[in-house]
Amino acid sequence: MMSLSVTKMAPELVSPCDPTPTGNLPLSSMDKSAPVGFMLDLALVYGHGHEPAKAIRGALSRALVPYHPVAGRIVASDKGEVEVACTASGVWFVEASADCTLEDVNRLERPLSIPAAELLPQAPTKADPEGLILLVQVTEFKCGGFAVGIRFNHAIFDGVGAGQFFKAVGEMARGLPQPTTKPVWCREAIPSPPKVSPDDHDRPFFTPPRFVETVYDVSLDSINLIKNEYVKETGRKCSTFDAVAAALWQSRTRAIGVELHADVCVGLVADVRHLMGDVLPAEGGYYGNCVYPTGVTASGGMIVHASLVEIVDLIKEAKKMLPAKMADWFKGDPREEPSKPRMDYGALCLTDWSRVGFAEVDYGWGDPIHVVPLIGEGHPIASAIFLRPPVPQQGLRVMASCVIEEHRAAFNDEMMNAAWATRSAYSSETNDFTFSAASLPSSPVYFNPITVGKPASELQNTELIRPLEVLMNDASRNVTRSREMDKQLNEIEQIGLESLLI
């Protein structure tokens, strides 16, 4: 195996290129729900560019003029409230080079051939880490490709907001005089609910397990099979998120062997800008946290034995409840506390990064090949992130950290039985991809089972494909559909789920 290394230059501060307003700005109640100093890490991978570090450094300096709070620092006010001091101190920027091509490192697919820390910027030790808002690193590869490593403070941006900012940086790099979306701060416009007494003493102690990371690519054909089945049975449409979330939730619930009477839940985080029209500008541009969690709880037996259509209905119902849940929170209802998700192995949290904007960040050489979350180990809750698959694939990529090693094989078997994933998974335990779906027949549609840990050479043909009729029979066995649920669920706009790490 070849030795790979990344050489980093000394970090430098990139400040706004023009004078900007000073003073302190408040954060919203939603901003304050994120721990101060919590940074979310990712990398955007590009196939080619010309002096990208120089271009992005200059564009960043120009974008920090309309987005001047991002060049400031997080501080505590005299009253102990968290604020942003608009100091124009700047954003830490690192220029780096790798002694390999993107192909040498498989375009930064899992498993990473380069440690995540080598792709991410680090500020000098003298810098206060809790006060930093944004750090950027541009790593150039020998082939001309590059990766933009990003660390952003979740108290300042949600996923949509961070995507909006970096799209603005891309526009500056392409020569636009101003961002096409005018940034809006107005954090004070977000309602602040009455504070409720903490009830942490009512929560049982929970030691987070060590989750195994797996990655699946779900083809567009597979997604459409579920969506078409939903339309056929209900006469209504469901979203891509609904379809994949239902299959994932059922596969995991079956795999972890919960007792049939025990509760399991799935938590979702929704972008609620569309529900804040009375307080936020209609033209958009708000880049602070504007998200709210919702979810649904059901018995393990219901999720194990239900059809995917029924589980999609549960997820849609959870989304339909969102406006009422938010209203209760703003009134100070202690039952609605978004910063306190359920913490046990029966809970699964789903986050959608596929539509937050990172995949459209163009610095002048096109959109990124793919977006790589660089979230480390130790996540306390079983979770999965939905992403766009690498170009030119279509469909959805699922990056899951939701089962322990003991349940890994069963989880992969359930994925095969559900037959919604079209490539074998990468597993952080086996550290390998074991089979590619590229050779599977395309018509009629067949599915690739999950075969982590089993060499492709050992697989029999019967293990590689299952026809649709068998899968649909499996999914709907011994289940009578609840028509009452159909009546209760009205056609609603798809709620955009986005990138907040609960």
Which residues form the catalytic set? Answer: 154, 362
Among 443, 392, 452, 391, which Cα is nearest to 421's? Answer: 452
CB 440 within 8 A of CB 465: yes
Distance CA 271, CA 291 (A): 5
Q: How far is CA 161 from the centre of its chain?
A: 13
- DSSP H helices in 87-142: 116-119
Q: How far is CA 1 from the centre of its chain?
A: 32
User: How far is CA 118 from each of CA 95, 121, 149, 376, 477, rounded to the nearest angstrom?
Assistant: 11, 8, 9, 13, 49
CA dihedral of residues 109, 114, 120, 121 (deg, nearest 10):
-150
Paired tokens of 286? 């708000």
CB 45 within 8 A of CB 137: no
- DSSP H helices in 358-432: 408-418
Amino acid (one-letter) located at 126: K
Q: Which residues of 227-263 are buried (b: 16+ CB within 10 A; e: fewer)?
A: bebbeebbeeebbbbbbbbbbbbbbbbbbbebeeeeb
